[in-house]
Chains A and B, each alone.
Chain A
Amino acid sequence: MSDTTAYHGATATPHEPGFGDYVQLLKPRVMSLVVFTALVGLLVAPVALHPVEAFAAILFVALGAGASGALNMWWDADIDAVMQRTARRPVPAGKVQAGEALAVGLALSGISVVMLGLATNLMAAALLAFTIFFYAVVYSMWLKRTTPQNIVIGGAAGAFPPMIGWVCATGSVSVEACLMFGLIFMWTPPHFWALALFMKEDYHKAGVPMLTVTHGRQATRLHILVYTLLLVPVALGAALTSIGGPLTLAVAVALNVWFVIGAWRIWTRDETVAEADRYAAEKAFFRFSLLYLFLHFAAFLVEAALKSAGIGGW
């Protein structure tokens, strides 16, 4: 229909969403991390899936993560609108209505869990369902607005994908899957607290009880150091299991030394020094934290490839 006059009536909403707006509801950047870690979990497992099953498994894990992102955007629309970092998300920007985000989130949750169960096994589907519940209900609805430990406990939701990938292939949870979970779980607090240090107005304005708001910035710096130190044995432990090897251990040692040095630098600074160089150390730590996680999981993947060629692993 080429005549547009009919569309200016009551049927058209002022901000009718395009397909891209719905894609943005699924937090594609978070999804890319989920796809990568779940893929590594699946590929390093001792049981090989058929490529079609593996593709379907990763797709539905990613879809489940997207669904929980949409549910999070529905619930958090009010605080997303206040924070500079999240104000352009589809719901606070007025591109998608909150009810639509809820419908998309619920529909995709159901589809992803059922399809993952059919494509792989019930345990993987149950874990995915629990992950969506944990992120949408436990983290978004409960912890995020009530406790400064929100990031610590809520980080579990982001830590499940490699475990789900492993369970898709093997049908059970093992120490390797738990250590991959632990790696992301322990990495999440320092990563987000570094962000909170230099995005300082956002969480304060939104009234989100981040550690920086409730316990102060110096306490946050100490927490970053403590959690980074606690992360070290988990990362090295993972490298010593069947998914690791000499290469993984070398990468883990190098990454953790660098990460601890970064956390130490943050702890020894105060706000005056940080403001003087516009939070250079905190921003560098945050950027490196992304590389840290990527390289750790990339090392697992390379080690698995080397092992299949007969030259990697323990």
Chain B
Amino acid sequence: MTFRPEHDLHKRRFSRNLGLGLTLAAFVALVFALTVVKVQRGEPMQGFDHTYSPAMLPKEEKTP
């Protein structure tokens, strides 16, 4: 079997696939970075887990 020189068509397809691949990778990285920023800046959250948690109760104001 002989190897033929690469056709121009292959080059264009490769450039398209490479470009799309890099674009998608960059998009994933950007969404991840955005998520990290948004989560870090959000208020601390704690969900109800069916157990009594005194720490979640609002603090009562002490009267003098």
Contacts and interface: CB of A to CB of B under 8 A. Distances in A.
B7 A17 contact: no
A34 to B, nearest CB: 18
A7 B33 CA distance: 40
B14 to A, nearest CB: 9
A56 B9 contact: no
Contacts of B16: 17-19, 22
A56 B32 CA distance: 11
Contact of A52 (B4, B7, B18, B33): B33
A102 interface: no
The SS class assigned to the B binding surface is helix
B10 interface: yes
The SS class assigned to the A binding surface is helix
Interface in A33-55: 50, 52-53, 55
Residues of A in contact with B, size category = 20 to 34
Interface string A2-23: 1111010000100011111011
Interface in B1-28: 1, 3-4, 6-7, 9-13, 15-16, 18-20
A2 B34 contact: no
Contact of B30 (A5, A19, A22, A56): A56
A250 interface: no
A255 B1 CA distance: 69
Nearest to A11: B9
